[in-house]
């Protein structure tokens, strides 16, 4: 694992919504470069950039038309290289979003593969051998090609699936190729070339979109794991410092595949939603939530994957509701005390550090649908368009939160009691205690069913830190083999121990050392 991941705190940037420097209503690469100082000052030392490549933007850029070129609306390849360089000068790393599973229908590969005659790209996508032959289990594109076949899609119906083969091709379905066939091999080589290109220009790694879905009919992920192991070998030999994080949600599989990190997400078996986004989230002060299923699954993953890589818990992302849709500012602060004291590299979705809200009732933008409200422009200050850019408001890519009390960076950086100040403090504490960082161990002390608080011990070498998190608005007690004294960090008062029982104030989080 690259050294720098030990202490990485990531900041996810949705490029179209971060900072617009040329008043066209869309964020751009130069805007991100301009704001590197802000991200660094918050304490984040790494950035994940959502796709910024040429695209028809039917899925906000997750429909890539040209993997080698920055979308003109964001700037140029040179602008992106300057972003890498300036980030590196500040001691920060930048990872790009690799979308290996599908392309846009406008990608040259797909145009070629739609032709009736055989060519280099005929087998680049998962095509059946007749227009009425359905790629079982998958949706498909049909009726737009001269080629007599239908093409499997991965997500939206305009995202044709790249062909990495079938784990066990059905011998009666000649169109199903094996992973070792020429077409699938060429697809994988093409992906490696794309990685080579950007890593060669100074990018520090990739977040990989739908990483678990590449090989088809691969129920247990065995074929896809094998494929990523091959990528791991390639990276180890050519770019050993490149960091890889998968959108997979099953760390036991992805880390076996050679990823350094995997996300716990709103889909998959992680119970991540129980914490932040369900009817009674654990982090709501109502105190009706349950973190125990999450913890059980976490321990299971942690034991299966120990030391192979990191399990990463994001504050949110461009696919989920904003934290602020289900939690109030005080609850968000406690949620961050959890997020920033867990193992693995934390990922903060832009704007979550100021409690940006989900903007309700928006018309879908670029395939966002219900996700659009979590993708609104970053709110910097009290100037035009909240400082996002100086275009006419109606030209904005997505409308800004119209509430006059909307949070901004300007207000929150000036307020010691803001979410921003809490997040900055928490990152600072994490950065100065190895036990709290990515690779520190974790042992759960209290994580009972339907019960508060949540408590765990983080440790690294001789350093041990007891974390106590009580989002509920009631005092709680739990038995604990460790006493508490002066906290390294606390919000909401202080806990107290006597005779092996710790009494925890309501709406509280605290970290205790000296154990």
> Binding residue for ligand NOJ (CB under 6 A) from 20, 123, 209, 352?
209
Query: 162: number of CA atoms within 13 Å, CB side?
Result: 26
Closest CA to 291 of 452, 445, 442: 452
> Binding residue for Ca ion (CB under 5 A) from 5, 15, 28, 320?
28
> Binding residue for ligand NOJ (CB under 6 A) from 95, 210, 396, 419?
210
Interaction residues for ligand NOJ, span 73-92 (CB under 6 A): none
Q: Which tokens is 410 given?
A: 């300007």
> Binding residue for Ca ion (CB under 5 A) from 5, 9, 26, 264?
26
Q: Which tokens is 300 given?
A: 């299971």
Classify strands 476-479 and 46-49 as parallel, antiparallel or unpaired.
unpaired
Q: Residue 274's binding partner, choosing from ligand NOJ, Ca ion, none, with beta-carbon cut-off 5 to 8 A by kind?
A: none
The smaller minimum CB distance to ligand NOJ, of residues 62 and 388, is found at 62
Which residue sits closest to Ca ion, CB atoms considered?
28
181 counts as binding ligand NOJ under rule CB under 6 A:
no
20 counts as binding Ca ion under rule CB under 5 A:
yes
34 DSSP 8-state letter: H
> Binding residue for ligand NOJ (CB under 6 A) from 48, 62, 358, 444?
62
Q: Residue 62's binding partner, choosing from Ca ion, ligand NOJ, none, with beta-carbon cut-off 5 to 8 A by kind?
A: ligand NOJ
Q: Which residues pair with 251 in a beta bridge?
A: none
Which residue sits closest to ligand NOJ, CB atoms considered?
62
| In the complex, minimum distance from the CB of residue 358 to Ca ion, in angstroms, rounded to a whole number | 24
Closest CA to 67 of 26, 34, 110, 131: 110
| In the complex, minimum distance from the CB of residue 318 to ligand NOJ, in angstroms, rounded to a whole number | 6
Distances (CA, A) of 387 to 19, 212, 378: 8, 38, 8
> Binding residue for ligand NOJ (CB under 6 A) from 19, 318, 430, 458?
318
Q: x/- site string to ligand NOJ, residues 241 to 270, per CB under 6 A?
A: ------x-----------------------
> Binding residue for Ca ion (CB under 5 A) from 22, 106, 139, 460?
22
Closest CA to 175 of 113, 133, 139: 133
155 counts as binding ligand NOJ under rule CB under 6 A:
yes
| In the complex, minimum distance from the CB of residue 366 to ligand NOJ, in angstroms, rounded to a whole number | 10
The smaller minimum CB distance to Ca ion, of residues 36 and 310, is found at 36
- On whether the CB atoms of residues 427 and 340 are closer than 8 A, the answer is yes
Query: 434: number of CA atoms within 13 Å, CB side?
Result: 6
- DSSP string for 256-294: HTT-SEEE--SSSTT-THHHHSSSS-TTSTT-----HHH
Q: Residue 181's binding partner, choosing from Ca ion, ligand NOJ, none, with beta-carbon cut-off 5 to 8 A by kind?
A: none
> Binding residue for ligand NOJ (CB under 6 A) from 66, 230, 319, 381?
319
For the CA atoms of 235, 236, 240, 244, the dihedral, rounded to the nearest 10 degrees, stands at 50
Q: How far apart are CA 495 and CA 491, in angstroms?
A: 10
Can you give the binding site for ligand NOJ, defined by CB under 6 A? 59, 62, 99, 155, 209-210, 247, 318-319
């Amino acid at each position: 694992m690259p050294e720098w991941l030990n202490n990485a705190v990531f900041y996810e940037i949705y490029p179209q919504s971060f900072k617009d420097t040329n008043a066209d209503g869309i964020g751009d690469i130069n805007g991100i470069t301009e704001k590197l100082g802000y991200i660094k000052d918050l304490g984040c030392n790494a950035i994940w950039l959502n796709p910024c490549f040429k695209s028809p933007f039917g899925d906000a850029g997750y429909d890539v038309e040209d993997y080698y070129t920055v979308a003109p609306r964001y700037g140029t390849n040179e602008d992106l290289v300057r972003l890498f360089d300036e980030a590196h000068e500040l001691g920060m790393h930048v990872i790009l979003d690799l979308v290996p599973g599908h392309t846009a229908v406008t990608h040259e590969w797909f145009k070629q593969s739609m032709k009736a005659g055989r060519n280099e790209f005929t087998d680049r996508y998962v095509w059946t051998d007749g227009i009425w032959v359905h790629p079982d289990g998958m949706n498909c594109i049909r009726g737009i090609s001269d080629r007599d076949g239908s093409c499997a899609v991965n997500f939206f119906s305009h995202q044709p699936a790249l062909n990495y083969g079938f784990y066990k091709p059905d011998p009666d379905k000649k169109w199903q190729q094996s992973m070792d066939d020429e077409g699938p091999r060429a697809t994988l080589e093409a992906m490696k070339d794309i990685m080579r290109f950007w890593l060669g220009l100074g990018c520090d790694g990739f977040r990989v979109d739908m990483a678990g879905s590449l090989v088809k009919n691969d129920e247990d992920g065995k074929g896809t794991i094998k494929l990523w192991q091959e990528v791991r070998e390639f990276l180890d030999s050519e770019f050993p410092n490149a960091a890889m994080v998968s959108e997979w949600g099953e760390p036991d599989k992805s880390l076996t595949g050679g990823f350094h990190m995997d996300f716990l997400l709103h889909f998959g078996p992680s119970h991540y939603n129980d914490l932040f986004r369900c009817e009674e989230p654990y982090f709501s002060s109502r105190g009706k939530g349950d973190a125990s299923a999450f913890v059980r699954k976490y321990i299971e993953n942690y034991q299966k994957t120990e030391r192979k890589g990191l399990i990463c818990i994001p504050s949110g992302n461009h696919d989920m509701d904003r934290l602020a849709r289900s939690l109030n500012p005080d609850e968000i602060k406690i949620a961050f005390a959890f997020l920033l004291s867990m193992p693995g590299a934390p990922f903060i979705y832009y704007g979550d550090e100021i409690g940006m809200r989900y903007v309700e009732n928006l018309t879908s933008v670029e395939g966002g649908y219900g996700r659009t409200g979590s993708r609104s422009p970053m709110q910097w200050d009290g100037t035009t368009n909240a400082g996002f850019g100086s275009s006419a408001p109606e030209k904005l890519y997505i409308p800004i939160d119209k509430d006059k009390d909307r949070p901004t960076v300007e207000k929150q950086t000036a307020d010691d009691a803001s979410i921003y100040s809490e997040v900055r403090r928490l990152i600072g504490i994490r950065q100065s205690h190895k036990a709290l960082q990515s690779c520190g161990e974790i042992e759960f002390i209290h994580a009972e069913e339907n019960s508060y608080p949540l408590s765990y011990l983080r440790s690294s070498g001789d350093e041990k830190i007891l974390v106590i998190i009580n989002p509920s608005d009631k005092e709680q007690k739990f038995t604990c083999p460790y006493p508490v004294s002066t906290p390294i960090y606390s919000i909401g008062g202080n806990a107290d121990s006597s005779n092996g029982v710790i009494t925890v104030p309501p709406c509280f989080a605290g970290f205790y050392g000296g154990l």
